[in-house]
Amino acid sequence: MTETPITRAAQATPPPMARKIRGLSDRAIAWIFVGPTIFLLLAINIFPLIWTINLSFTNFRANRPNREVDYVGLRNYERILTDSDIWLNMQATAHFLFWTILLQVLIGFTLAYLINKKFKGNDLWTTIIVLPMMLSPAVVGNFWKFLYQPQIGLFNYIVAFFTGKDPSSFEMLGSVDLAPWSIVIVDTWMWTPFVMLICLAGLRSIPDYIYEAAEIDRASKLRQFFTLTIPMVLPFLMLAVLFRGIENFKMFDLVVQLTGGGPGSTTELTSINLKREAFEKWRTGYASAYAIILFVTVFGLASIYVKALNKVKER
């Protein structure tokens, strides 16, 4: 180290005083800054997760805390994976996931593409479209239930107005055929703007000169769309699908308020079923195993998907 007035002053200063001036070391500060966050996450996320894993091997019931708890090994897991009702819930969830994501991607991308034409006032209209996704899903579910009311609901009235059907001839929430679509419609209304915003960011990230070059090469507009726009937006679109997929796999509040899982169990998504097992039937051990299976499923699917996403990004 070269001799400078600063280093000379530093060497001349006795150690305790130097410590006072310099304060804590960077390393200490780093741990003081990160520590509380890690502690909170350990206490409220990881510790509960470990507890859930532990409970999943027992026959514990939270409404009878004093009863003796037996370890039952993998029996809970075995029962869940062989239960045909749970596969029905999985199917309901898959139907919900597939259609919400498909519709949101199609509508969301189209909207983003149109907004990117930069017409006058586009940012105000974008904000209006974004409004639904900022609202409380439970409250949204609750008021859509009002719109879906048979006979008196606005939704039935509008459908009847355009199709000429009798508005009391169908029940969106009450019929086994329509209920799965009623939740798809509301989720699409609410979350299309999310996909739209991410696509918009993707479209805006494409530099103008690429299109200019394509224009010089006399590529048609259609060809530019399929060979430039789509591939450039694809990583963004895939990211949007990932976020929506994780969120909708966890879906609870919106659907519980809309249909409560009914009629029968046609819209009983896995989260709703899980809530029933855990907090209505109080089969805590069984529900814990169920929760672990769901978590592993989401985590596994998400990891595979992220790998695919990274491959697309590399291209």
Partner 1 sequence: MSSFSVTEPSARSKWFAGSLVILYALITLVPLAWIMLTGFKSPADAISYPPKVIFDPTLEGYVNLFTTRTRQTDDFLAANPPETWYEEIVRQYDMVIAGPSKFGERFLNSVIIGFGSTFLSIFLGTLAAYAFSRFKIPLADDLLFFILSTRMMPPIAVAIPIFLMYRQLGLSDTHLGMILLYTAVNISLAVWLLKGFIDEIPREYEEAALIDGYTRFQAFYKVVLPQAATGIASTAIFCLIFAWNEYAFAVLLTSGTAQTAPPFIPTIIGVGGLDWPAVAAGATIFLLPVMIFTVALRKHLLRGITFGAVRK
Residue 17 contacts partner 1 per CB under 8 A: no
Nearer to partner 1, 176 or 223 (CB): 223
Q: Which of 189, 203, 232, 265 binds partner 1 (CB under 8 A)?
A: 189
Q: Does 304 bind partner 1 (CB under 8 A)?
A: no
* Residue 159 in contact with partner 1, rule: CB under 8 A: no
Strand partners, 58: 71
CB of 69 to partner 1, least distance (A): 12
Nearer to partner 1, 83 or 212 (CB): 212
Shortest separation between residue 82's beta carbon and partner 1, angstroms: 21
Residue 167 binding partner 1, by CB under 8 A? yes
Residue 221 Cα to chain centre, angstroms? 34
**Cis peptide bond upstream of 263, omega within 30:** yes
Residue 287 within binding range of partner 1, rule CB under 8 A: yes
Among 27, 307, 311, 315, which residue sits at the site for partner 1 (rule: CB under 8 A)? 27
Task: Give the Cα separation of 309 and 235 in Å (integer).
Answer: 7
Query: What's the DSSP call for residue 226?
Result: I
Q: How far is the CB of 180 from partner 1 (least distance, A)?
A: 20
Q: What's the min distance (Å) between Cβ of 274 and partner 1?
A: 5
- Give the separation between CA 21 and CA 111, rounded to whole angstroms: 57
CA distance 211 to 228: 8
Beta-ladder partners of 71: 58
Total of chain residues touching partner 1, rule CB under 8 A: 101
* Residue 191 beta carbon to partner 1: minimum distance, rounded to whole angstroms: 11
**Interaction residues for partner 1, span 205-224 (CB under 8 A):** 208, 211-212, 215
- Site stretch for partner 1 (CB under 8 A), options 74-82, 84-92, 94-102, 278-286: 278-286
Q: Residue 175 class from Cβ within 10 Å (0-12 exposed, 13-18 middle, 19+ buried)?
A: middle
For residue 292, state whether it binds partner 1 (rule: CB under 8 A): yes
**Would you give the distance in Å from CA 145 to the centre of its chain?**
22
Q: Does 1 bind partner 1 (CB under 8 A)?
A: no
Task: Give the residue with the Cβ less far from partner 1, 176 or 281.
Answer: 281
Q: Let me know: does 265 contact 88? Beta carbons within 8 Å.
A: yes
The DSSP call for residue 151 is: T
The CA distance from 263 to 180, in Å, is 10
Residue 170 has phi, psi (to 5 degrees) of: -140, 150
User: What residues numbered 80-139 form the site for partner 1, per CB under 8 A?
Assistant: 107, 111, 113-115, 117-123, 125-139
Q: In terms of Cα–Cα distance, which of 133, 128, 97 is closest to 244?
A: 97
| Selected range binding partner 1 among 46-54, 82-90, 94-102, 171-179, rule: CB under 8 A | 46-54
Cα 90–chain centre separation: 17
49 binds partner 1 per the rule CB under 8 A: yes
- By CB under 8 A, name the one of 7, 10, 11, 41 that touches partner 1: 41
Distance of alpha carbon 3 from alpha carbon 185, whole angstroms: 72
User: Using the rule CB under 8 A, which residue among 1, 12, 44, 222 binds partner 1?
Assistant: 44
